[in-house]
Structure 1
Amino acid sequence: MAPTSETLTAERILAATEEVLRRHGPAKATVVDVARALGVSHGSVYRHFRTKAALREAVTKRWLDRTSQKLAEIAAASGRDPEARLRDWLAALFEAKRHKAGDDPELFATYTVLTDENGAVVGEHIADLTAQLTRIITQGAGSGTFSVPDPAAAARAVFQATGRFHDPCYAREWTLPGVGEEFTAVVDLLVRGLR
């Protein structure tokens, strides 16, 4: 039996939206398609998300938050050596982005379009990631592992310097031979600079 609007949750709508986007792409996916996939009226979807733009923004945020949450665990592991945490955090970011691009290329392409539409959500995501980096670098500066006068500026620089390994515009390069060695070389250079 089809779910009623009382059992409909924002999370179920977002999961259905992701499937509709995967099937139809961002240009053709509609709120009616999402409602149909859930077996409810489009009005039921609009009770949770006031506009199609709000729904697209929420599904984009959900997608980006998956990466942020995994990385937050690494950033929060304050008992570990800051250099090892920084290396692990950067490697996890690169790996998460590679998996998103390689495991489901159609959905990755869809989200690339959606992130272009939702600059504020992307800005919040980047701010969250650089805050995590700042936490690691601040702890490294406090322990003497890193010698940086401004951990927040250093975190922004590290994030920008590693862009080739997490910015979706470089996704085609993430499977090239030697990209892993190039990533390691960049991280080694950055760590030496932070010391």
Structure 2
Amino acid sequence: MPPTSETLTAERILEATEEVLRRHGPAKATVVDVARALGVSHGSVYRHFRTKAALREAVTKRWLDRTCRSLAGTAAEDRDPQERLRAWLKGLFDIKRRKAHDDPELFATYGVLATESGTVVGEHIADLTAQLTGIITAGNASGVFSVPDPAAAARAVFYATIRFHNPCHAGEWRRSGVEEEFQDVVDLLVRGLSAPVTP
């Protein structure tokens, strides 16, 4: 049964938008297509999202937020910070690789949408680097890491591993040897964070 104006929620609209994007791609998907999939008028969709751009930004944020939520538990674990950092970076790589492999059409769609949503992508990167900052700060407190500025170190770690989580590198993620290359980068970063700070 189609939703009524009382039962139509932003979350239902975003779910339908994701399906429409999967079927039509970002260039052809319209608000009318979303409304049709829900069995409502496009005006009902616009009551929740004032513009097509707002809807696309919201669905992109929803997709990116899933990654942050998936990694939050690892970031907050009470265990050795080196192990936690390794697990977090591996988790990010695995999440992105799984999305690219399991649903390549939608992954490619979100790559396009992310380029349109500068604010959303910036917030996503800030959320991820905040999780990394927490891990590195805990490492400093326990004496495992030795860095003067955990936030700067977190940004450096994030960008040093970008090949393993930025969608533009997705074509490399299934290539033979990529796991070893990932591990080499992570080993180097952990050693760098653990090295004593020279005055």
- TMscore range, shorter length: over 0.9
**CA deviation string 1:78-108 (max 9, x = no partner):** x211111000000000000001111111001
Q: CA deviation at 1:73?
A: 1.0
Question: What SS class does the counterpart of residue 144 from structure 2 fall into?
Answer: coil
* Partner amino acid, structure 1, of 2:86: R
Distance 1:5 1:143 in 2: 54
Aligned twin of 2:48: 48
After superposition, the CA RMSD in angstroms is: 0.6
Q: How does 1:4-83 map to 2 (within 5 A)?
A: 4-77=4-77, 79-83=78-82
* Partner amino acid, structure 1, of 2:100: A
**CA deviation string 1:124-163 (max 9, x = no partner):** 0000000000000000001000011111111010001000
* Partner amino acid, structure 2, of 1:136: I
Distance 1:164 1:25 in 2: 25
Question: What SS class does the counterpart of residue 88 from structure 1 fall into?
Answer: helix
Distance 2:83 2:170 in 1: 25
Aligned twin of 2:197: none
Distance 1:146 1:152 in 2: 13
Gaps of 5+ in 2: 195-199
- After TM superposition, the score normalised by the length of structure 1 is 0.98
- After TM superposition, the score normalised by the length of structure 2 is 0.96
Distance 1:159 1:3 in 2: 42
Aligned twin of 1:150: 149
Question: What SS class does the counterpart of residue 40 from structure 1 fall into?
Answer: coil
* Partner amino acid, structure 1, of 2:74: I
* Partner amino acid, structure 2, of 1:55: L
Distance 1:41 1:141 in 2: 55
Q: CA deviation at 1:67?
A: 0.4
**Structure 1 residue ranges (4+ consecutive) displaced by more than 4 angstroms after TM superposition:** none
Aligned twin of 1:178: 177
* Partner amino acid, structure 2, of 1:22: R
Question: What SS class does the counterpart of residue 173 from structure 2 fall into?
Answer: helix
Seq. identity, %: 79
